[in-house]
Amino acid sequence: MSKSKIKKENLILVIVIALALGSRQLAMNIVTPFVAYYAQTLLFGSLVLGGIALGIFNLTQGFCQVPFGNLYDKIGGKKVVLIGLGALICGLFLSFISNNAYVYVLSRALQGSGAITSAAYSWLSKSVSPEERADSISLVGVVVGLASAIALGGGPVLIKFISVKTLYLASTIIVSLVFLFVLFFVKSDVVENTKKEKIEGKGIYLKKIFKDKKFISYLIIAFSANYIGIASFFLIPEYLKLSIGIDSMWKVLTPAILIAIVIMRISTKFIKKGYVKRVAFLAGIGTIIAGLLLLTESRNLLLLLIESILVFGAYTVVTALIPTVINDFVDDKFRGLVNGIANGCSYLGSFLGATISGLLFSNNLIIALIIILVIGIVFTCTTLIMSNGKKVGV
């Protein structure tokens, strides 16, 4: 592929989608290290409810990706993004006002139900040319990555001065501003009328893509990268808390994420040139190396930094790669649905990564680490059956 820049007429939409996903990432990540602890400070709070509150976001996020993607195919991206942001705003505000741990768990589930990722990437991919697609998705990934870095670095610092409750209020305001910007300054996208033939064709199309090895490989890679990424995001901070304390975790996590963003930007250039398989393979190798280093259970800061860079690097690369390749071959009529399936697999990996690692951390840590390594090996082997075809299921 030749070099391409994002056209001016498309740049506003790309920025808006980046802001929508970035503000959502900021709102969720800035409180993530404190979710389990905060739940325990509320009425009826317990360690178990704290764990549920942490994991239920990814669970509802995963379940809602397909319905939201399917809804995109019917009503368009702008309306779905507004619905999703609205659900997130309600969930954040409910977290702000809740004094009951059960209500807090409900608020986290509501936040996760605003599953706009599949609709946002579908909207973006349909609106820009194929030549602009990789750069556009990469730019969104950079904003989301920076939001994560700011949240991870800023959260532990801000918590010294303001409460978790106040963080939820600030997040509610930020996402509300983005909601208003999308509502008033972005044109609605045009959606083809949903006809009976389209509905009937959906089942046939899904059967075909699920028989396609390339598509299945993308789902496995999306699941694996997210499982490893979130499991490591759970484990590495635990190691850092023991070695340098929660207040200093940002010294390792923030540089690792910033380096991972650079890795993602570099990988995008190779993805555009058609080296999808090689990029995915290298990301898989990175997860294997990280898995082997994690098995040492070392608290050495340099090793923890290397592990973080490898894991977050692979995670951000896949975050840019999967939407790009998925939207290169998907039929326009079912773009939202297929993106929903891919994102659903990603969030299922995130949920299981956090849940399984959390359950095994205290008494069976070695098993949690072996699972990460095995999934890294599966990830890497799966890249060997990838290919760079265009349309599938047509």
pLDDT of residue 199 exceeding 70? no
Q: How many CB atoms lie within 10 A of CB 56?
A: 22
Q: How far out from the chain centre does Cα 135 lie?
A: 18
The DSSP symbol for 128 reads S
CA nearest neighbour of 134 among 17, 281, 265: 265
pLDDT averaged over the chain? 84
Instruction: Specify if 166 maps to a domain.
Output: yes
CA–CA separation, 17 and 25 (whole Å): 12
Tokens 């850092």 map to which residue? 240
Spell out a b/e string for 335-347, using b for 16 or more CB atoms within 10 Å of the CB, else e: bbbbbbbbbbbbb
**Residue 372 confidence class, pLDDT cut points 50, 70, 90:** very high
Token pair of 171 as six digits: 């997040």
CA–CA separation, 312 and 256 (whole Å): 7
CA nearest neighbour of 328 among 1, 79, 6: 1
Q: What is the pLDDT of residues 249-295, one digit of tens each?
A: 778 887 888 888 888 888 888 887 888 899 999 999 999 999 999 98
- Please tell me the predicted confidence (pLDDT) of residue 394: 40
The CATH code of the domain that includes 186 is: 1.20.1250.20
Token pair of 258 as six digits: 């910033």
CA–CA separation, 218 and 62 (whole Å): 16
CA nearest neighbour of 385 among 210, 219, 217: 217
Pinpoint the alpha helices (H) of the chain.
Answer: 8-29, 35-40, 47-75, 77-97, 101-113, 117-127, 130-158, 164-185, 196-209, 213-243, 250-272, 276-295, 301-329, 335-360, 365-382
The pLDDT of 74-88, averaged and rounded, is 92
Q: How far out from the chain centre does Cα 325 lie?
A: 16
- Please tell me the predicted confidence (pLDDT) of residue 387: 61
Instruction: Specify if 294 maps to a domain.
Output: yes
Lowest model confidence (mean pLDDT) among 32-36, 343-347, 348-352? 32-36
Instruction: Specify if 327 maps to a domain.
Output: yes
333 in Cβ contact with 274 (< 8 Å): no
Helix (H, G, I), strand (E, B) or coil at 7: coil
Which residues, listed in sequence order, are joined to residue 43 by a DSSP beta bridge?
100
Which residues, listed in sequence order, are joined to residue 100 by a DSSP beta bridge?
43
Instruction: Specify if 1 maps to a domain.
Output: no
CA–CA separation, 44 and 190 (whole Å): 48
The pLDDT of 310-316, averaged and rounded, is 90
CA nearest neighbour of 232 among 146, 145, 272, 291: 291
The DSSP symbol for 162 reads S
- Please tell me the predicted confidence (pLDDT) of residue 385: 79
Token pair of 72 as six digits: 């995109």
pLDDT of residue 380 exceeding 90? yes
Q: What is the pLDDT of residues 83-120, one digit of tens each?
A: 999 999 999 999 999 999 999 999 999 999 988 888 88
Instruction: Specify if 394 maps to a domain.
Output: no
Model-level pTM greater than 0.85? Answer: no
- Please tell me the predicted confidence (pLDDT) of residue 280: 93
The DSSP symbol for 248 reads G
Instruction: Specify if 392 maps to a domain.
Output: no
Instruction: Specify if 393 maps to a domain.
Output: no
Tokens 């484990």 map to which residue? 235
Q: How far out from the chain centre does Cα 280 lie?
A: 17
Q: What is the pLDDT of residues 118-147, one digit of tens each?
A: 888 888 888 888 888 878 888 887 888 788
87 in Cβ contact with 114 (< 8 Å): yes
CA–CA separation, 242 and 304 (whole Å): 12
Domain span at 95: 8-385
> How many domains would you assign to the chain?
1
Non-local (6+) Cβ contacts of 58 within 8 A are 112, 230, 347, 348, 350, 351, 354
More confident residue, 2 or 388: 388
Instruction: Specify if 111 maps to a domain.
Output: yes
